[in-house]
Structure formats: C-alpha cells, structure tokens
Structure 1
Amino acid sequence: MSRLPNFIYIGPDKAGSSWLHEILIDHPEVYFTPAKDLYFFDRYFDRGPQWYADQFADAQPQHKIVGEVCQDYLFDPPTPARMAEVLGTVQTMVSLRDPVERAWSSWLYARKHGVGPDDFLTALRTEPALLEHGRYASGLDRFLEHFERDSIHIAVFDDLAADPQAFLDATTDFLGIARMPLSEEQVKARLPAAAARSTRIAHLVRRTADWAREHDGARIVGAVKRSPLVHKVLYREIDRAAVRPDADAVDFVRESLADEVDRLERDYGLELKSRWGWV
C-alpha cells in the first residue's frame, strides 16, 4: 500500500535542495522519490491524491521518513492548505539563503539554459520569480496558518556551506532518524555553478524535461538530472567568485526584500542581516 509523505522540503530553490535530496535519498531510514520536484501541490494538484501516493509506492517499512524535495511549494499560496488537506500533519523544511545570492544563482541557472534577459538587473525588474522566491517570511507565514511552528525546520544555507555535516545532523535530528556520516565526496556540492557548453542544446533539454513532467515522466527527468555524465556533457563549471552581481542589482534586491528579512528576524528569531552583510 502506498504511503503519503510525512516530510517535504518546501523551498526555496538554489539553497541546497539538490544536495539535500542526493544525501537523504541514500539514508536507510528515508524514502525520497527519485525525481526531485514533483510539483504536485502547485502545478499538478488536479492529478489527485492517488497519483501522488503512487509516487511513493516503493517505500518500505524501514523507511521512517517518506517524502520529497520540491523547492517551489513555499511560494505558492494554495499549497499549504492543500498539503494540510491531503497529508494532515507533516514535517517540512526550508533552507534560507541570502536573497541576493539566491536570485543571482537562479539567474545564472536560467542563463545557462538560454532563458531570460542577459543582464541581471533587467531580469530582476522583468522576471517576478527572482524576487518572489526571496519572500521567505511571507511563505512561512502562510504555512503557519495550517501547521504548527515546531513542524517546520528552518535551516540557513550559510550553515550548509560552512559545515555540511552539522547541517545534515540538524536535519536528521529534526526528523528523528539516525545521523549519517558524510563522505568527502558527499560534502561536495552536487550542482556547482556552471555554464552550458551549448545554450541551444541546454535549452532544448530543459524544454524536454518540462514536457516530460507534463506527461507524468518525473521519474525519467529525475534519473537524467541526477546523472553526473549528463552534467559533464552539457555543462562546464565556472568560477562563481569571479562573476558577481553589480552594486545596483544588489541594492535593488535588498531594498525590495528588506521587510521580508526584517520579519524573519523579528518573527522567527533569526539573525540574518549581519550574516548576509545587509548591515
């Protein structure tokens, strides 16, 4: 009998979600769907709860945690109520990253697929998701309308960058499962900053992946996206430290999202401005 999730990573994107998926999918007490980002509660809710349950049909009794990683749920207004309706009580997790860095990483990802403006500041002004996916406090507030505060694990991406083992330990402790020692290979970022070897081909691959999801091919997408060979063929790593957003773009993000960060500090007890260099 299929089991519905009792844990979901809800967002944001570009904050360690791929790394978390790749690590926890190997934990003996965890069953994650092979495909990251099922998008059931936002894009495909009309497929119904049985379709969603079928995605977890391979979960076994030893899997105390059954779940998925879907980075967009935090920003979709109907999602919290839908999750409460289908799942009842569920543990969730966010990993908060400096909104400037998150937007910059998201823009780099779009550009390597040939999507959107080739200027970061122009993209910020014309692509709403770049800023909307930095509205962490608003997303958390919506979830707290349906779930208890202690059911949401709020992590900070800086901690993953500084000490992956401690970041993972805090997550597994929250989930109530055994700690999992990381190998040297697992500590490394799974999807480092990259540029497409061919933007045209990368764009075609992305459109094909979107088509596959629309036609219930999430497992295939997951297998392809998780393949190191695919990434080696399609992309080359770049030195992100050598390419940085200009001051006008940084100021634009900070001015647009200052209230969100203020609320995270005030309402959630997080000290973020000093960590992110906003003061």
Structure 2
Amino acid sequence: MTSSDHVSWRQHGQARLPNFVYIGPSKAGSTWLHEVLMVHSQVFMTDAKDLYFFDRYYERGADWYAEHFKHAGPEHAVVGEVCQEYLSCPEAPQRMHDLLGPDVRLMVTIRDPVARGFSGYLYMRKHGVFDGTFREALETRPGMLEHSRYATLLDRYLDCFGRSQIHFGLFDDLVEDPQRFIDGVLNFLRIEPMRLEDQLLAARLPASRARSRHLASAAKRGANWAREHGSTTLIGRVKRSSAVQRLLYTELDDRPTPREEDAAYLRGRLRPEIERLEEMMGQDLQARWGWTSS
C-alpha cells in the first residue's frame, strides 16, 4: 500500500488534524474500537477518547483541538478521534466538514436501540446518576430515545458528506466476530490489516456495578473535571488501570435485562426510524434483532 492510497488529511499549524472520526453512538463498542486502533502501527489516537470538541468545546478553537494530535508522525496514515456524542450533535457535521474537510472518514456503529438504551440505563445506575426504573428513564430523559433515532441523526451527516465517507458497523458483528469487524474498519481506512491479540477479542469492560455509588459518582465527576482541563492522558491511564476498575466496580453475576413491556414500548417508538435505517444500510435489522415478532 502506497502513501497515495491513504486517506487524505489537513494540517493546522504544526499538527495534523484527524482524517478519521468515530461519531457514535454511546454503548456500542467505542471504547473497544479506541483501544484496538491505539495499538495499530499506522494509527495515531489520543490517550483517551471523547474530546467533545465538535459539540461541547468548539468555542475553544482549532488550536486547542490540534494540540491533542501534535505527536502524530509521518508513520501514521490515520489520525483519529473517537467521540460517542458527535452523532447526536446537530452542529457537529458542518463543523467537521469546515475544519477537517469533505474527505474525512467517519464511522458509526449501529446497535439494537433496546439493548443500547438498557446498557445506557445500567451505566447511569452504575455511576449513581439515576435511581429509577428503566421505563422512568425512558420517560424522563429525552436523550435516551432521541439518541437512538439513528436515521434522523445520520441525515445531517449525509447532507454534509457522501455516503461513501461513512462506515456503518454493526455492534452484533463486533460481538460475534471481532476480527472480521475490525477487518472492515481497517479496509475502510485503507491501512494494513492486524491480527487481534487474545485480550482484544473480547470487550474490555464487562457488565459491572459500583462497589460504592458515591465513589463511582465522584470518579465520574473527576473524569469530567480532567477532561474540562485537557488531561486526556490521565483519563486514558485511569480507564486502562485494572486496579482502579477493581476498586470502583465489581462484575455482575447475571446481567439484567429489560422487561418485555419496556422493550416493546421502545421498539414501537423507534420502528419508523429503524425502517429508514434499513433502507440506508440495505439490511434487515429488525430480523437481526428479533423485532419482527413484536
């Protein structure tokens, strides 16, 4: 593979800007993807994912953003960012187009909204930020529903970028065959294939609950503070520390599942979105997720 085969990129000052961005959503394997790409010799990734530049911190300017990628070298054909919230930000597509250019490569991973929503609910419980039922979360936190309107959210990106610029991954494929999943990503990025090591063939963080909800909540606030102050390297090291994870969380013996009536409620609200998404992707997602009988 020659340099001319690689994805093009832009420069800001002395730093290269990303030519690849994972845009979301959350609870769809973004941490795993970030960890895998970090060990690829042709890829430069920040130490921690979720810079939130194109949504929360855009006013900090391109200099602030470019600073995170200043150590990318000529050996890196891909300079990338993983941020799970960009998909749901209305302004992010045009901002990316303006700063990174029309040729930037984007990726989204589609997950069954029922499973993804319930995973998000467990995450809130784990970090002590919500104490109600799953149904109460769906009814009182609009983002849980709105962030699963995949087709509507993707329309904004398709208005700014060509369909060929967006790689659609399926979370089901990641779970069933991680090697094949990452093969598709690397092919999209036009870089050399890699064989996954054993520890990367499974998701990094298993389902867990907080040993202390107060401690987990404090840790979450600390991470937010560190991110606000640009300490992404510290965040990355803490997240990859098995000792810290053991201190904060304990694995669940049996992963809970949503009540069927709650799952049916969510399917009913989102079915039109998924039908449009099926047209975009050319796949029968409802059959894959077992929605056809509900």
Give the superposition deviation at 1:72: 0.6
Q: Does 1:102 align with 2:116?
A: yes
Distance 1:266 1:75 in 2: 20
Give the superposition deviation at 1:126: 0.5
Of 169, 185, 200, which aligns to 1:155? 169
- Listed as ranges, the gaps of 5+ residues in structure 1 are none
Q: Does 1:64 align with 2:64?
A: no
- 1:42 is matched by which residue type in structure 2? D
Distance change (3 Å), C-alpha of 1:47 and 1:240: farther
- 1:58 is matched by which residue type in structure 2? H
3-state secondary structure, aligned to 1:145: helix
Q: Does 1:131 align with 2:134?
A: no
Distance 1:222 1:184 in 2: 21
* Residue in 2 that maps onto 1:7: 20
Of 77, 96, 103, which aligns to 1:83? 96
TM-score, length basis structure 1 = 0.97
Q: Does 1:270 align with 2:272?
A: no
Q: How is 1:199-278 mapped onto 2 (pairs within 5 angstroms)?
A: 199-241=213-255, 243-278=256-291
> Could you tell me whether the CA contact under 8 Å between 1:121 and 1:248 is conserved in 2?
no
- 1:60 is matched by which residue type in structure 2? G
TM-score, length basis structure 2 = 0.92
Per-residue deviation, residues 141-172 of structure 1 (Å, max 9, x unmatched): 10011111101000100000000000010100
Q: Percent identity?
A: 51
* Residue in 2 that maps onto 1:192: 206
Distance change (3 Å), C-alpha of 1:103 and 1:22: same
RMSD of aligned Cα (Å): 1.1
> Could you tell me whether the CA contact under 8 Å between 1:74 and 1:139 is conserved in 2?
yes
Distance 2:165 2:23 in 1: 12
Distance 2:17 2:221 in 1: 29
Of 41, 44, 47, which aligns to 1:34? 47
Distance 2:150 2:253 in 1: 28
Q: How is 1:42-61 mapped onto 2 (pairs within 5 angstroms)?
A: 42-61=55-74
Q: How is 1:141-152 mapped onto 2 (pairs within 5 angstroms)?
A: 141-152=155-166
3-state secondary structure, aligned to 1:262: helix
Give the superposition deviation at 1:227: 1.8
Distance 1:270 1:148 in 2: 19
- 2:266 is matched by which residue type in structure 1? V
- Listed as ranges, the gaps of 5+ residues in structure 2 are 1-13
Distance 2:290 2:90 in 1: 29
Say which is worse superposed, 37-46 or 209-218, in terms of deviation.
Answer: 209-218
> Could you tell me whether the CA contact under 8 Å between 2:28 and 2:171 is conserved in 1?
yes
3-state secondary structure, aligned to 2:160: coil
Paired residues, number: 278
Distance 1:226 1:141 in 2: 35
3-state secondary structure, aligned to 1:191: coil
- 1:63 is matched by which residue type in structure 2? H
Distance 2:24 2:215 in 1: 28
